[in-house]
Amino acid sequence: MKQILQFTVNGEPRELLIDPKKFLVEVLREDLGLTGTHWACDTGACCCCTVIMDGKAVKSCSILAMQANGREVTTIEGLADGPNLHPIQQAFIDNWALQCGFCSSGQIMAAKALLDENPSPTREDIQLQMDGHLCRCTGFNMIQEAILDAAERLKGQK
């Protein structure tokens, strides 16, 4: 029996009739075509699928889409301001914090949630918060540098 899911995605109200067995990541990718959110493990172990729900970073593979009912979800597609990249996105590019890019969406969304909560993180704060995010390409150091750089850029904006 399908159910109605009402939620806000990247600032836009959405109403969908969905199979309640579906995970949030499936609805985002398959029903809304927001394929920027990836997943890489099937077992909640990689954090590639991280999106922001009501200000918190969540693994969209590990919550049912219906749990997002009435909530606000931001995906990687909702981060840039029109044609202008978000400072975290720019910092990831400038610091070569991505290689294959497959895990980048999750890394960037987690970094956004982290910096919203803690605008001046230390390297250790980043390591702690981001520890669950797997990446096979970068070795993480350049991601941490990008987040530190993004923190500076965001402070400069204010």
Q: How far apart are CA 115 and CA 86, in angstroms?
A: 13
Residues 61-100 touching other proteins, rule: CB under 8 A, are 75-77, 79-80, 85, 89-90, 92-94, 96, 98-100
Residue with tokens 């029996």: 1
Phi, psi angle pair for 128, to nearest 5°: -65, -50
By CB under 8 A, residue 14 contacts other proteins: no
Residues 28-47 touching other proteins, rule: CB under 8 A, are 29, 34-38, 40-46
List 119, 120, 127, 155, residue binding other proteins (CB under 8 A): 127
Shortest CB 69 distance to other proteins, Å: 23
Question: Strand pairing partners for 57?
Answer: 52
Closer CB to other proteins, 7 or 105, in the complex: 105
Burial profile 103-142: b = 16 or more Cβ within 10 angstroms, e = fewer? bbbbbbbbbbbbbeeeeebeeebbeebbeebebeebebeb
Sites of contact with other proteins (CB under 8 A):
29, 34-38, 40-46, 48, 75-77, 79-80, 85, 89-90, 92-94, 96, 98-105, 108, 126-128, 130-131, 133-142, 144
